[in-house]
A and B are shown apart, each in its own frame.
Chain A
Amino acid sequence: MSTEEPATAHADEYRTEHLRDALAHDPATAELDVKVTLAGGRIVLTGHAATEAHRQAISDIARRVAPDLDVVNQMDLAEFGDGGEPESLA
């Protein structure tokens, strides 16, 4: 990187990790498993959330950490159901 290149050249990468770090350490989320993509001035969140409240908490922290960016939360809610077809192990 030349000395003239702005220090923000890799800022997106750092901001993404800062957000992931906040999502892991904030007790409201304690979430290590959110994929964070920063593109076109938006933060896009993908992965699975256990509940709607949890998904909302993740969005709230993203907005707090990056108030200048739009937050698009595309996380899926966890699906539960019965055990389905059992697997026989020989």
Chain B
Amino acid sequence: MIRVAAVGDLHMGKDGAGLLRPHLRDLSAYADVLLLAGDLTRCGDPEEASVLVDELGDVRVPIVAVLGNHDYHAGREDDLRGVLTAAGVQVLEGEAVTLSVEGTTLGIAGVKGFGGGFAGACGSDFGEREMKMFIGHTREVATRLEAALRRVQGAARIALLHYSPVVETLQGERLEIYPFLGSYLLAEAIDSAGADLVLHGHAHHGHEKGITPGGVHVRNVAQPVIQRAYRVYCFDKTNATSL
């Protein structure tokens, strides 16, 4: 059995010391890995990342993360990534990692993702340069995600995102902002390459559970949605190895 703990949108500020640490102390009793689905910080300030790293200090399982839009706000995402990496957190952006877990392997491919919308109501890379850049970025990220998923090894494979690939996990958000919350291009990439689970955040008023058109489980683990320090998802090893 592979046990995956996940949370997104912690939005750690400089005032966040002591907020998480008590709840993560015993995490290794319940999970084999901790995945962080972006918006780790409030403003993208590396000092906020340092507070988060301290909060993660008692976690005794591997930690893998992607960044979210808040983590880019200060334009210091490389510094932020450096703080996290130095503390042993693996930060993925178009990259993948395979972990040994309970005698089997777990592959994780991660990207931030981006917006653009969903079938029937999405933007196109057409017209102004700015619009082409917007959707072009999403296409580029989706391509990186698909490539990372295709090359990652693992009896079970997870796509770790910040933005959502489907609308089901956005239910509760205002329809008008769906194009800023995710893109179908991410789901298409996932369905093309295959995965066992997609984890994302970003949609604070959304719904936890969804599924891609190709049948891959999607879970929105934004902290305001799960209302916990993390959620745990389990894979039966037999099912996972049947991929």
Chain A residues within 8 Å of B, Cβ to Cβ: 27, 30-31, 33, 47-48, 50-51, 53-54, 78-84, 86-90
Contacts and interface: CB of A to CB of B under 8 A. Distances in A.
B234 A89 contact: yes
Which of B3, B13, B31, B236 is most buried by chain A, counting CB atoms within 10 A of its CB? B13
By DSSP majority rule, is chain A's interface helix, strand, loop, or mixed?
A: loop
B13 A82 contact: no
14 contacts: A27-B43, A30-B43, A31-B42, A33-B205, A50-B11, A51-B15, A51-B16, A51-B19, A78-B223, A80-B229, A83-B228, A83-B231, A83-B232, A89-B235
Contacts of B230: 82-83
Interface in B30-79: 30-31, 42-43, 45, 70, 73
B150 interface: no
Binding site secondary structure of chain B: loop
Interface of B: 3, 5, 10-13, 15-16, 19-20, 23, 26-27, 30-31, 42-43, 45, 70, 73, 196-197, 204-205, 217, 219, 223-224, 227-236, 239
